[in-house]
A and B are shown apart, each in its own frame.
Chain A
Amino acid sequence: MSEIAFFGAVEIGLVYALVALGVYLSFRVLDFPDLTVDGSFPLGAAVCATLLVAGVNPWAASLVAALAGSMAGLVTATLNVRFKILHLLASILTMIALFSVNLRVMGRPNVALLMQDTVLTPFYGLGLPDHVVRPLVVLVVVVVIVLLLARFLNSEFGLAMRATGVNARMARAQGVQTDFHIYAGMALSNGLCALAGALFAQTNGFADVTTGIGTIVVGLAAVIVGETVLPARAMLWALVGCVVGSILYRLAVQLALSADAIGLQASDLNLVTAVLVAVALILPRMRLKAASKKREAVR
């Protein structure tokens, strides 16, 4: 793997680390399987790119993109909480709707960012090569968000949100407004995914309506890899695990693609990811089965 390919993998891993954190919030904290992210990621990219072309400040554009993602999360949460639509289906409905929304936002299938200032612009030309600057800037953003998120999840409000996902009945008996916490968690989760989309657009120089496909699986893969590599219970380390998982996943993919002997193409990425996630989900169960069989044999 060349140096540029390595830094490229780390960069994309860091961008998708925000997706992983969002997926961790919905899947793990709230126990809400949410596919909205396949729509909120490109939504973030679309909103950010469109605003940048219109000459808006890049940080403001990124913030608005995150807020747009939060709105998408609220739509899914409303469909589920208020109208009792199954969470999975509710999120698929929002995701499908967002495809059209994203086309409307951009007015065409993709927007190129060629001459526009991005959040990275001020850091180019400080002496470091561009392919190092990009992951560094994203890393700073990710670190700040991980610290804030850990603090949030350890707060009274965050604890109530975690209880909502673990045992809603108990949470309600302890006075937790579980519905409200689902809204808040879903908004936060999709806000992070949209922010990832915004950073993706700025680091890659384009927004495309199709970039969202499979976002959820990539995010989930990162979460699972992270949990395997860093099996921690403390909140901060669980979040760091998501980030590490996302980077490791990208490095593994890069390695697989650059090894000509395997004969994989870039277009095989989604298949590889799906297989990886499936295996990661199946393995613990098989290990459990094997362990119980061994126990029986001893008896």
Chain B
Amino acid sequence: MITVNGIHVAFGRGTPLEKHALRGVDLTIPEGQFVTVIGSNGAGKSTFLGALAGDVIAEEGRIAIDGVDVTRWATPKRASLVARVFQDPMVGSCTALTIEENMALAAARGRRRGLGSALRGDRRRHFRERIAELGLGLENRLHDRMGLLSGGQRQAVSLLMATLAGSKILLLDEHTAALDPGTAEFVLGLTRRIVEENRLTTLMVTHSMRQALDYGDRTVMLHEGRIVLDVSGEQRAGLDVPHLLALFAKQRGGEDITDDSLLIG
């Protein structure tokens, strides 16, 4: 479970470029819920995800994960509770290390890393079994460098890596934005499967309203650092992209906007 109470984040305080990215966000995500987050460019989606992951520390407010106050925890400490997949496949993995080394790195998340071998026989076997589940034939390429994989393959492995350490919370930061539509579809399908199989509490930031409604069971819209829309259940089931746009426009005081301005970024 994730509980966020009135968090504020600002960049460049006291400079002419000051940006108040989050202005009092409240959100409670019960265990096992899959929330999609949308919003226009600069709405604060990525900052919100960063605040949950520990990349940005909230100036005000409180963040609790499974009842533990993590507001002041830095990224490495929070990693014991939270798994992450980045937008850029290059950022989310070590391209110079092999696939199995990347997996070993992820499998030790939240544990003390000792001087024992990172790739013992039993662990190798476990990695081979797990990566075979992806159905990409990567089980025979464990010694290949991560950099040799395509973007889609790398995101698929990143998703798998997110489940290796057994944390219950998954943060997805536009993890299909850098992929072509077909590959994005595959990675999203895999995401759904992994989330369901592991019963993960998931937060997925996306730039696509379509994806936001098709995946998960709750959708949250951010605008100018605030949550302006929060739909789930039947209300959400009856929604389509045009409805969402209309709702969004209403929130903004009747301003007319197009899907494009939300899609971009």
Binding site for B on A (CB under 8 A): 151-152, 154-160, 162-163, 166-167, 169-178, 233
Q: Does B113 contact A156, Cβ atoms closer than 8 Å? A: yes
Instruction: Please name all residues of chain B whose beta carbon is closer than 8 Å to the beta carbon of A174 when the two chains form the complex.
Output: 79, 105-106, 108-109, 161
Contact indicator B79/A172 (Cβ below 8 Å): yes
Once bound together, how far apart are the Cα atoms of A127 and B111, in whole Å? 53
Beta-carbon contact of A159 and B91 below 8 Å: no
Q: Do B109 and A170 touch (CB < 8 A)?
A: no
**SS class, residues of chain B in contact with chain A:** loop
| Residue in B79, B95, B105 whose CB lies within 8 Å of A159 | B105
Find out whether the CB atom of B91 lies under 8 angstroms from the CB atom of A156: no
B165: chain A residues within 8 A (beta carbon): 175
Q: List 21 A-B contacts (CB under 8 A).
A: A151-B117, A155-B113, A155-B114, A155-B118, A156-B108, A156-B113, A156-B116, A157-B113, A159-B101, A159-B104, A159-B113, A162-B94, A162-B97, A166-B95, A167-B93, A170-B94, A172-B75, A173-B75, A174-B79, A174-B105, A175-B77
- Shortest B68–chain A CB gap in Å is 15
Cβ contact of A177, chosen from B76, B93, B101, cutoff 8 A: B76
Bound-state Cα–Cα, A176 to B91, Å: 15
CB-CB under 8 A from B84, the residues of chain A are 173
Q: Which of B53, B91, B118 has the most CB of A within 10 A?
A: B118
What are the residues of chain B within 8 A of A159 when measuring CB–CB?
97, 101, 104-105, 108, 113, 118
Q: Considering only CB atoms, which chain B residue lies closest to A161 in the complex?
A: B113
If A171-B105, A175-B165 are given as contacts, then 16 extra A-B residue pairs at C-beta distance below 8 Å, sorted by A number, are A154-B117, A155-B118, A156-B114, A156-B118, A158-B118, A166-B95, A169-B91, A170-B93, A172-B76, A173-B53, A174-B105, A174-B106, A175-B80, A175-B111, A176-B76, A233-B145
Q: How far is the CA of A94 from the CA of B86 in the complex (A)?
A: 37
Flag whether B115 is at the interface (Cβ < 8 A).
yes
Contact of B94 among A157, A158, A167, A175 (CB under 8 A): A167
How far is it, in angstroms, between the C-alpha of A151 and the C-alpha of B119 when the chains are bound? 11
Neighbour of A157 across the interface among B80, B97, B114, CB < 8 A: B114
**Chain A residue with minimal CB distance to B81?**
A175
Choose among B74, B79, B106, B113 the residue with the greatest number of A CB atoms under 10 Å from its CB: B113
Closest to A165 in B: B96
> Inside 8 A of A162's CB, which chain B residues have their CB?
94, 97, 101
Identify the 5 closest CB pairs spanning chains A and B, nearest first.
A175-B79, A156-B113, A175-B109, A159-B118, A172-B75
| Identity of the chain A residue whose Cβ is nearest the Cβ of B101 in the assembled complex | A159
Complex alpha-carbon distance, A163 and B110, angstroms: 15
Q: Mark B96-139, 1 if CB is under 8 A from A, else 0.
A: 11100100111011110111111100000000000000000000
Tell me, yes or no, whether B92 is within 8 Å of chain A by CB: yes
Chain A, interface SS category:
helix
Select from chain A the residue with minimum beta-carbon distance to B54. Answer: A172
Shortest distance in angstroms between A176's beta carbon and chain B's nearest beta carbon? 6
Cα A96 to Cα B31 in complex, Å, equals 56
Residue of A nearest to B53 (CB): A173
CB neighbours (8 Å) of A156 from chain B are 104, 108, 113-118
In the complex, what distance in Å separates the CA atom of A158 from the CA atom of B104? 12
Q: Are A160 and B75 in contact (CB under 8 A)?
A: no
Q: Considering the chains assembled together, what is the distance between the CA atoms of A289 and B79 in angstroms? A: 41
Question: What's the least CB distance linking A164 to chain B, in Å?
Answer: 10
Is the CB–CB distance between A170 and B115 below 8 Å? no
Contact check, B115 vs A166: say whether CB atoms are below 8 A apart.
Answer: no
Measured CB to CB, the nearest residue on chain A to B123 is: A156
- Contact partners of A173 in chain B: CB under 8 A: 53, 75, 79, 84, 86, 92
A158 to chain B, nearest CB (A): 7
Chain A residues near B95: list those with CB within 8 A.
166-167
Interface residues of B in 140-167 (CB under 8 A from A): 145, 161, 165
- Residues from chain A with Cβ under 8 Å of B53 in the complex: 173
Residues from chain B with Cβ under 8 Å of A152 in the complex: 115
